[in-house]
Each structure stands twice: as C-alpha cells, then as structure tokens.
C-alpha cells in the first residue's frame, strides 16, 4: 500500500471511532470499554498491536498494518478482547473468537476471517505466508499453515492460492 494513502487514514481519531464502532457491532450486549486507541510507528517485535491494560490504551503499529492494511479491524477486535477479559493472555480467546465468528455470519462487513491462530497471532508477514481464497463467498486470508483452513463466513474449505 502507498505510504501516503496509508498515513492519511491510519490516525488516532479514525482508529478510535473504528474501535468503538466494531465493538458495538460485534458485541452489542457489552459496554464499550473505556480505551484510548493510538497509532504507533514501529513495533518493538513486529507485532500488530499492544493492549496496555494498566493505562487503558491500545497501540496499533503502522509498520505492521502498512503491510497488512486489511487486518486493522480484526486487530482492533483482538485488542478489545484483552480489555473485555481484563488480561494480557489469550486463555479466553477461543470462546471470544467463536462468538465473533458467529456474529460475523450476520454482519455483511467481513472482519473476522481465518482461523483462531490468525486471530491470536495475526499474519506472519516475515515467514511462510500463504494466501487462501474461499470458493463460496470470496473471502481471502493469509495464514502460516498450508492446509486445513476453513472459511469463518460460510464454513467451506479454503483453497491455497498463493505463497508457495
């Protein structure tokens, strides 16, 4: 993605509004946590984001999202999960991911795609990235796995289309 275009929308105000909107859309029966979302520059270890629970801040890193701009929404919902469960671990994420995947079936905007591993760890942009496409709904995802990927939108097996 062009850096100028990316930097024109990857800003604190936009990310905050998206966090609030996505939380309300996917978790309408929960109260939106009092969290401030900020755009960070370069991540310390190549991560997509960090949830600073004690400070009530989510930092989304530009260096990750300029390579994977389609993932910022899923990243926001991932980080929301840390505040929803009040911890930095992913122990409760299988249940959280199942809930989001179920909700995704009734929401036209495609946000939750891929597997639980993709949701927890995001794309592996440095090593072994494979692209899969769904023959049913057309969703595309990137995964570190080479097989066994199922579409969360329509439950079909996805086809490996790139990364070999």
Tokens representing 130?
């494979």
pTM, 2 dp: 0.74
What pLDDT score was predicted for residue 146? 67
CA distance 111 to 5: 21
User: CATH number for the 3-162 domain, one of 3.60.21.10, 3.40.50.720, 3.30.2010.10, 3.20.10.10?
Assistant: 3.30.2010.10
Range in 55-59, 90-94, 153-157 with the lowest mean pLDDT: 153-157
pLDDT for 43-81, tens place per residue? 888 889 999 999 999 999 999 998 888 899 999 999 999
Range in 74-78, 101-105, 131-135 with the lowest mean pLDDT: 131-135
CA distance 68 to 56: 25
Largest CA distance in the chain: 43
What pLDDT score was predicted for residue 1? 61
pLDDT for 4-20, tens place per residue? 778 888 999 999 999 99
Check pLDDT > 80 for residue 116: yes
CA distance 30 to 23: 8
Which is more confident, 122 or 120? 120
Domain ranges of the chain: 3-162
Residue with tokens 């070999």: 164
């Amino acid at each position: 993605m062009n850096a100028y275009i990316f930097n024109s929308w990857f800003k604190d105000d936009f990310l905050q509004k998206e966090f609030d909107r996505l939380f309300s859309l996917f978790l309408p029966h929960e109260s939106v946590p009092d969290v401030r979302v900020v755009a960070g520059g370069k991540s310390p270890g190549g991560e997509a984001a960090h949830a600073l629970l004690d400070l009530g801040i989510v930092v989304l890193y530009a260096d990750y999202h300029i390579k994977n701009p389609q993932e910022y929404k899923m990243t926001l919902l991932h980080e929301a999960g840390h505040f929803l469960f009040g911890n930095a671990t992913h122990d409760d994420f299988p249940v959280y991911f199942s809930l989001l995947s179920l909700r995704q079936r009734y929401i036209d905007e495609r946000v939750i795609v891929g597997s639980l591993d993709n949701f927890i760890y995001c794309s592996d942009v440095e090593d072994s990235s494979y692209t899969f496409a769904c023959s049913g709904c057309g969703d595309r995802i990137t995964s570190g796995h080479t097989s066994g990927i199922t579409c969360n939108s329509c439950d079909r097996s996805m086809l490996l289309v790139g990364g070999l």
